[in-house]
């Protein structure tokens, strides 16, 4: 018999066996749930849109049927074959909990609940009057859920207006963003697009100093009563009753502090630590202040990493770049940032109310006459040095033995500028200690030195790329020696100098 035919018969028999064997374990009146089907009953709808909607809606129906592998519900079969465990431990319990999967019954499908879910999803797509009717189809102890949806008309945008009559600074900024909006007149209503637009506006504002702004402070109002042609007027407004006072203010960077030797285990407040540090531990630079008793990291590391300047507006993009660059130095295991609102000295009274006032201020619940932020970067360093060694040996059937030794040493902060210096060495041999057929003995030695600096090293020029990823200058030297006795020896060496940098998170040069 042809092998392909045999394989086909085997697959068919397996499918029949697994499907039949799973249903015979069901109790009286129980059926196995095989899945759901959604049918949108609208002949005028675009066929591709209908197919995509039906596929998407099916993913929202609960419960999900038992998983299949090549059409076989193997995990369900394991659950059934294993049976009820008699002990909390053992092979049966392991099979059921680690591999098996309990049956999903047709009786578990709640039609009314799923009807509501499907109608909500259709509403979110602009079908405001869609209705869903679910039924169950039972056959041979299996149940299939079928949902027929009357879509109704889909609503499109007739007009879009951002913050009408809002004269605040933040209101004008949001109104200006309408020209870049994801929402366009004539497009169908789509809640996902609206949420994406809210997030986009939120990012625009947090990159322009609005530190306390949250996209949830935006609300979209849709008016469908003004048009009989299934069009709606949409307005975006601020939730003035939910929006704290500080969310209306654009904050600027005041002072920047860096703690290069912060220890997480001490659980100390970084702001208190830098305030209480003696002047001998503090170094003041034009851009930031470093609190480091050991003077373990040079200013250039932070100058290349920190993207903020004093007096500029807070920006989430610049903050993320700073964190990415600090991590990219390879020197810090943990990077933490703390932003605090600068308090007007005239508000400090020494009373018990001070604590409450300061808490409200830091949470953005109240405004400040001079909106500024102090930022503290608390950095926990990796161990500076690391050494490792690996040795091994082996024997061969032709009376030969060999050995190999690997050695490596690395320093993460050689000259206090996050320079990584690594030395690697290898050595090995293979010799014959007996036997009639003599073969040459071999010996090899090797050494490699790598020096990596997290910035461009270019004579007379200082290059400062604007990406979130630090460039690297890499200098390496390598030497290898190989000897095969009585035949030849090889000496080879390489010296390289180059640069590596990332243009984006996925593109490296």
> Are 244 and 267 in the same domain?
no
Do 143 and 217 have their domain in common?
no
Structural domain includes residue 509: no
- pLDDT number for residue 382: 94
Buried b (16+ CB within 10 A) or exposed e, 482-494: ebeeeeeeeeeee
Mean pLDDT by 10 residues, the chain (509 residues): 50 48 81 94 89 96 89 84 80 84 92 97 95 94 95 93 89 94 95 96 97 95 79 92 94 96 74 72 90 92 94 96 94 95 80 81 89 95 94 86 95 95 96 81 96 88 78 96 93 95 67
Structural domain includes residue 431: yes
- 113 shares its domain with 96: yes
Contacts with 78 (C-beta within 8 Å, 6 or more apart), sequence order = 95, 96, 99, 100, 101
Same domain, residue pair 427 and 491? yes
Same domain as 343, residue 210: no
Residue 508 falls within a domain, yes or no?
no
User: What does the pLDDT read at residue 276?
Assistant: 67
Does 267 lie in the same domain as 370?
Answer: yes
Same domain (yes/no): 25, 143: yes
Domain holding 212: CATH number?
Answer: 3.10.20.310
Domain presence at residue 279: yes
Q: What is the DSSP string of 47-63?
A: HHHHHHHHHHHHTT-SS
The residue from 349, 381, 413 where one domain ends is 381
Nearest residue to 501 (alpha-carbon basis) of 457, 449, 448: 457
Q: Same domain, yes or no, for 402 and 338?
A: no
CA–CA gap between residue 280 and residue 294 (Å, rounded): 10
Q: Tell me the residue range of the domain where 491 lies.
A: 385-500
| pLDDT value for 13 | 45
Pick from 120, 150, 180: which residue ends a domain? 150
Tokens 């770049």 — which residue? 321
Exposure b/e, 266-279, CB count within 10 A at least 16 = b:
eeeebeebbeebee
For residues 161 and 63, membership in a common domain is answered with: no
User: Does residue 194 sit in the same domain as residue 279?
Assistant: no
* Residues 337 and 399 grouped into a single domain: no
What does the pLDDT read at residue 3?
58
Q: What is the tally of structural domains in the chain?
A: 4
CB contact set of 392 (below 8 Å; sequence gap of 6+): 403, 404
Check residue 84 and give its pLDDT: 80
Total-model pTM? 0.81
The residue out of 230, 248, 266 marking a domain boundary is 248
Question: Do 394 and 439 share a domain, yes or no?
Answer: yes
Q: Decide if 507 is inside a domain.
A: no
């Amino acid at each position: 018999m042809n092998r392909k035919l045999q394989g086909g018969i085997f697959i068919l028999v397996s499918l029949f066996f697994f499907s039949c064997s799973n249903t015979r374990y069901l109790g009286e009146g129980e059926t196995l749930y095989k899945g759901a089907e959604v049918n949108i009953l609208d002949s005028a709808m675009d066929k591709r849109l209908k197919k995509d909607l039906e596929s998407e809606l099916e993913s929202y129906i609960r419960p999900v049927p038992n998983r299949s592998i090549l059409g076989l519900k193997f995990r369900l079969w394991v659950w059934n074959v294993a049976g009820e465990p008699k002990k909390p431990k053992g092979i049966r319990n392991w099979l059921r909990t680690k591999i098996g999967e309990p049956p999903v019954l047709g009786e578990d499908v709640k039609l009314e609940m799923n009807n509501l879910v499907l109608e909500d999803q259709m509403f979110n797509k602009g079908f405001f009057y869609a209705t869903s009717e679910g039924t169950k189809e039972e056959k041979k102890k299996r149940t299939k859920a079928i949902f027929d949806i009357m879509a109704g008309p889909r609503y499109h945008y007739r007009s879009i207006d951002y913050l009408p009559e809002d004269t605040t600074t933040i209101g004008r900024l949001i109104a200006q963003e309408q020209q870049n909006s994801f929402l366009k007149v004539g497009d169908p209503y789509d809640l996902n697009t609206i949420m994406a637009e809210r997030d986009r506006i939120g990012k625009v504002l947090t990159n322009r100093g609005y530190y306390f702004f949250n996209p949830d402070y935006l609300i979209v109002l849709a008016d469908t009563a003004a048009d009989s042609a299934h069009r709606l007027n949409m307005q975006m407004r601020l939730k003035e009753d939910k929006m704290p006072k500080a969310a209306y203010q654009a904050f600027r960077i005041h002072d920047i502090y860096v703690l290069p030797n912060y220890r997480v285990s001490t659980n100390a407040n970084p702001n208190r630590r830098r305030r209480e540090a003696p002047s001998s531990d503090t170094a003041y630079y034009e851009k930031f202040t470093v609190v480091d008793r050991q003077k373990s990291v040079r200013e250039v590391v932070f100058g290349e990493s920190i993207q903020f300047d004093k007096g500029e507006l807070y920006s989430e993009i610049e903050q993320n770049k700073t964190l990415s660059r600090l991590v990219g130095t390879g020197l810090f295991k943990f990077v933490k940032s703390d932003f605090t609102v600068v308090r007007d000295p005239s508000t400090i009274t020494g009373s018990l109310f001070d604590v409450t006032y300061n808490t409200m201020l830091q949470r953005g619940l109240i405004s400040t006459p001079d909106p500024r932020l102090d930022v503290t970067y608390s950095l926990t360093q990796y161990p500076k040095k690391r050494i490792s060694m690996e040795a091994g040996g082996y024997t061969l059937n032709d009376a030969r033995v060999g050995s190999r030794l690997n050695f490596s040493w690395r320093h993460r902060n050689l000259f206090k500028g996050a320079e990584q210096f690594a030395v690697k060495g290898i050595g090995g041999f293979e010799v014959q200690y007996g036997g009639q057929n003599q073969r040459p003995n071999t010996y090899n030695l090797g050494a490699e030195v790598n020096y990596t600096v997290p910035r461009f090293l270019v004579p007379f020029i200082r290059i400062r790329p604007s990406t979130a990823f630090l460039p690297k200058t890499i200098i390496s030297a390598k030497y290898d020696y190989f000897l095969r006795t009585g035949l030849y020896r090889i000496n080879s060496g390489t010296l390289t100098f180059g640069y590596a940098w990332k243009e984006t998170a996925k593109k490296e040069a």
